[in-house]
Copies of this chain bind each other. A is one copy, B any other.
Amino acid sequence: MTKHPPKPSKARVSRQQILDAAAKCIALKGYDATTMREIAGTAKFLPGSIYYHFSSKSELFLAVNKEATKQIIDRVLLNLQGKTDPWERIKKACTAYLECLSEGNYYALVALTEFPRRRSTEMAKSLVQQREELEGIFRELVDDLPLERSINRKYWRLSLLGTLAWAMIWYKNEGDDVEHIATTFVDLLAHKTSS
């Protein structure tokens, strides 16, 4: 007997539309500069309608952020499936991360550009919490690497994460594919010459 997928009620569909619209707007203009009217317009709703699905702008934002980290994590886990070599695993994870930054996926951009520091204490806490699982995965991946004993794994990891995050600043969808870039970055830190 097969398990039925949850019936996509009208509400669920609308929620998704709004979420997508919010992700796009926030990714492009930032949370503060994004208006509920814009989000509504992008989702083809009227302004008031959003509030049937989300009780406030901040709640909507938190939902977008949650979805964003979920998408990155899912992509990373997908890329890791069946891989066992530690170096290959971390390269695959980085590839996933960069794939998420490819144009068109606004969620990931939100997760990387909205700094918790700027939000209210309460929101900040939620944001940090949501991001923690992702960071945890990278921590494990780095811990599994056969690095020379003298190397500080914490800084190694921070360097890699910074390198990846910075890609959102300079990466344009032209030429170099993300897998190559990811490999190159890991190799730079791995003290190997990239292939």
- The contact string, 1 if C-beta is below 8 Å from chain B, for chain A 164-176, is 1111011000000
In the A-B complex, the 10 residue pairs with the closest CB atoms: A162-B166, A32-B32, A162-B163, A150-B193, A159-B163, A32-B33, A162-B162, A191-B191, A30-B118, A155-B184
A161, B166: Cβ atoms closer than 8 Å: yes
CB < 8 Å: which of B155, B166, B193 contacts A151? B193
A125 to B181, CA, bound (A): 27
- Copies of this chain, tallied across the complex: 4
Tell me the nearest residue of chain B to A32, going by C-beta: B32
Known: A166-B161, A166-B166. A155 touches B188 (CB 8 A): yes
A30 to chain B: which residues have CB within 8 Å? 30, 32, 118
A117 to chain B: which residues have CB within 8 Å? 28
A87 to chain B: which residues have CB within 8 Å? none
CB < 8 Å: which of B113, B162, B181, B184 contacts A165? B162
- The contact string, 1 if C-beta is below 8 Å from chain B, for chain A 26-53, is 0011101100000000000000000000
Binding site for B on A (CB under 8 A): 28-30, 32-33, 113, 115, 117-118, 148, 150-152, 155-156, 158-159, 161-167, 169-170, 181, 184-185, 188-189, 191, 193-194
A188 to chain B: which residues have CB within 8 Å? 151, 155-156, 159, 189
CB < 8 Å: which of B152, B189, B191, B193 contacts A159? B189
B163, A167: Cβ atoms closer than 8 Å: no
The smallest beta-carbon distance between A163 and chain B, in angstroms, is 4
Q: A152-B184, A156-B188, A158-B163 are in contact. List 17 more A-B contacts (CB 8 A).
A: A29-B118, A30-B30, A33-B118, A113-B115, A151-B188, A151-B193, A151-B194, A158-B170, A159-B159, A159-B166, A159-B185, A159-B188, A159-B189, A162-B165, A163-B166, A165-B165, A188-B189
